[in-house]
Amino acid sequence: MRREDVLIETVQDITLDDIKGSNLLEIYNKIYGFSAESLYRASKILKSIAKECDLRFLSFTANLVSTGLRGLFADLIRRGFFNMVVTTGGTIDHDIARSFGGKYYKGSFDYSDEELRKINVHRLGNILIPFEDYGGVVERAVSQVLPPLVKERKEWPVYELLWEFGRRISDQHSILKASYETKTPIIVPGVVDGSFGTNLFVQSQFTGLRINLFEDMRLIKDRVFESEKAGALLVGGGISKHHTIWWNQFRDGLDYAVYLTTAQEFDGSLSGARPKEAISWNKIRDNAEQVVLYADATLALPLLAISLIS
């Protein structure tokens, strides 16, 4: 296997304009059966969140940021459909890597990982990431951006650090740039779990940097307690999903919730737990409009986004 044989076509980001004008959701409403009904219900709830909620959560996992959905997430934030983001550490890795020149490529689940390793290519599902377009890019970005910030002050909330990175990004498809432009907080409770967090730690050894996750928690706490109505689109599971619903229990639960997931509940995992289980934890209100849509986000999220612009 040679690199030039597999690193052929790069991943392209999409925006809301790319999917504008479709009437597919009404078609799904007519089909109605099985998952089509869940898709249509999810689209209606998202519209309600956009119109009625002053606190609008977008929660998602990092793997999706390696795909063209990165641009869609950025566009949803930039256009104000969501004003609080909760995600995982790898989201920052992928966004910085792609914002500072890294390129991701279309691949296959069936490629030999042993052969990919020999030619210095990572595989994330069917996305290919050259070694030099990931870790090294993130390391250089952190080492360039961080030292001047630490001279301003030693201790930073993570969401403010991310705004500073977004301020220095020119890529319009960047989630961090969209967050900075709209002052939408990105909350990353597991920020040290990834290349960005590791590089923050490395820089702290030389600069004295301290990150203050309690300030991130204070921000999300204040937004939750101040909200009149709160809704959330939760894509995937794990820490980003849990952090979102965890804080909303203190306001007696979300008023609206859309779960988009491929995880199942039979093993008792948080990732697979359905919205109705969250009711028992006070994380979603018992009268909330809620739905779980079982689908791959790369298929379903563009369809759901249609509901916000149609």
Q: Is 0.85 topped by the overall pTM? A: yes
Question: What percent of the chain has a predicted confidence (pLDDT) above 70?
Answer: 99
Span 111-170, pLDDT tens digits: 999 999 999 999 999 999 999 999 999 999 999 999 999 999 999 999 999 999 999 999
pLDDT digits (tens, 9 = 90+) for 130-142: 999 999 999 999 9
Q: Could you give the domains of the chain? A: 34-100+143-309 (3.40.910.10)
Asked which of 27-36, 236-245, 263-272 is least confident by mean pLDDT, the reply is 27-36
> Which CA distances in Å does 271 have to 69, 120, 264?
20, 32, 8
The tens digit of pLDDT for each residue in 196-247 reads 999 999 999 999 999 999 999 999 999 999 999 999 999 999 999 999 999 9
Q: Is the pLDDT of residue 54 over 90?
A: yes
What amino acid positions are annotated as catalytic residues? Answer: 283
Check whether 20 has a pLDDT greater than 90.
Answer: no
pLDDT of residue 26: 78
Q: What was the pLDDT predicted at 21?
A: 59
Residue 182 has pLDDT above 90, yes or no: yes
Structure-block tokens of residue 268: 């008792």
Q: Which of 3-12, 97-106, 283-292 comes out lowest in average pLDDT? A: 3-12
Residue 30 is predicted with a pLDDT of 80
**Residue 81 pLDDT level (bands cut at 50, 70, 90):** very high
Pick from 195, 292, 287, 281: nearest CA to 237: 292
- Residue 131, number of CB atoms within 10 A of its CB: 12
The span from the CA of 188 to the CA of 162, in Å, is: 10
What pLDDT is stored for residue 22 in this prediction?
57
Mean pLDDT of the residues in the chain = 95
pLDDT-based confidence at 14, cuts 50/70/90? confident
